[in-house]
Structure 1
Amino acid sequence: MVILYWLLIVLMVVGIIGALVPGIPGASLILVSIFVWGAIDGFTQGVWIALATALAVLLLSLGIDFLAAYWGGKQAGASKWGQIGAFVGLTLGFFGFLPALPFGGPLLGIVVGPLLGAIIGEFLYHGELELPSRIQLATKAGVGIVVGTLVGRLIEGVLAIASVVVFIFTTWPPGVA
């Protein structure tokens, strides 16, 4: 039982990394790990507390993903075109459809895709402006969206760590139910 407990902790650490790095499961991996421990060791009060915490973190993480990018874009003056461009870029980057990225795969595409998408969206939106102004506004909006997304990832990482800490504190020592 102790070995399984520690293997699940290792899986939760991968979930923490996933909360920080796009393309790797984050809070959902932590939630599944806690559920597996509950199914094997019994759903004690500590496991229920950890499950509720992990579920709350998962739901918050879903909202943070969208709100952080939106907030970052708004702070940088991005329009809906920039937001839509970032989403399209994220999707294309995730599935490896960015022709300018022959290396790096989906992880690099998830970072570069929203930036390029937001820049292109803003560039098209500000078609009435002179070229230097269009480029400046589009770049500012793209960087704002990416910075917002990175801040959101950091918040998700902190929440994921908190979820794992709650699990450890509510279920320690392992195998004693």
Structure 2
Amino acid sequence: MLTLYWLLVALMVVGVIGAVVPGIPGTSLILVAIAIWGVVQGSFGSIAVPLIVTVVVLALSVGIDLLATFWGAKRAGASKWGQIGAVVGLLLGIFGLLPALPFGGPLLGILLGPLLGAIIGEYIYQRDLKRALKAGIGIVVGSLVGNLIQGLLAIVAVGFFLYATLPQVMG
């Protein structure tokens, strides 16, 4: 049982990393690990608070991701074209040309795709390279800030789980 517990905690750590790094499942992994622990224990009573906190964190993460990207775009003066370009760039970066690179693969695509997509989308709309660069950087910075906040929230969710369960497991 102790081995399973630590494997689930390791899965939660991957979830924390995924909350920060785009393309890796984040808070949902933490939620799955907590649910597995509840099923294995035969009771969700001891993990009710961590489970509720994680569901709230998951909902907040989705909202924060959208709001942070929107905030970054607005602060940089980006239009909808820049935002659409960032999404298209992310998808192309993950599944398109950038994974074919000899190094970095999809991770590099996840990082460069939104930036290049936002710049291209904004340039198509405004025909001003300086404003397009500013908008692209603003969208990416907003997204990175959102990812950092999501990472902190994921750490809080794991902390609640450890606080609620570690004394039982170790004691």
- Global fold match (TM > 0.5): yes
Counterparts of 1:87 and 1:70, CA distance in 2: 12
Say whether 1:173 aligns with 2:167: yes
Alignment check: 8 A CA contact 1:31 1:54 kept? yes
Q: Which runs of 5+ in 1 are unaligned?
A: 128-133
Alignment check: 8 A CA contact 2:99 2:105 kept? no
Say whether 1:145 aligns with 2:139: yes
Counterparts of 1:85 and 1:100, CA distance in 2: 20
Deviations 1:131-176 (A, max 9, x none): xxx1110000000000001000000000000000000111222448
Deviations 1:95-140 (A, max 9, x none): 133489553211111110110011011111113xxxxxx1110000
Give the RMSD, CA atoms, in angstroms. 1.9
Aligned position for 2:105: 105
Q: Which has the higher helix share?
A: 2
Aligned position for 1:92: 92
Aligned-pair identity in percent equals 62
Count of residues in correspondence between the two structures: 171
Q: TM-score, normalised by structure 1?
A: 0.90
Q: TM-score, normalised by structure 2?
A: 0.93
AA at the equivalent of 2:141: V
Aligned position for 1:9: 9
Alignment check: 8 A CA contact 1:96 1:105 kept? no
Deviations 1:56-109 (A, max 9, x none): 111111122221111101100000110111111011111133489553211111
For residues 11-160 of structure 1, the aligned pairs below 5 Å read 11-98=11-98, 101=101, 103-127=103-127, 134-160=128-154
The ranges of structure 1 where at least 4 consecutive aligned residues each deviate by more than 2 angstroms after the TM superposition are 42-46, 96-103, 172-176
Aligned partner of residue 97 in structure 2, secondary structure:
coil
AA at the equivalent of 1:19: A
Q: Which runs of 5+ in 2 are unaligned?
A: none
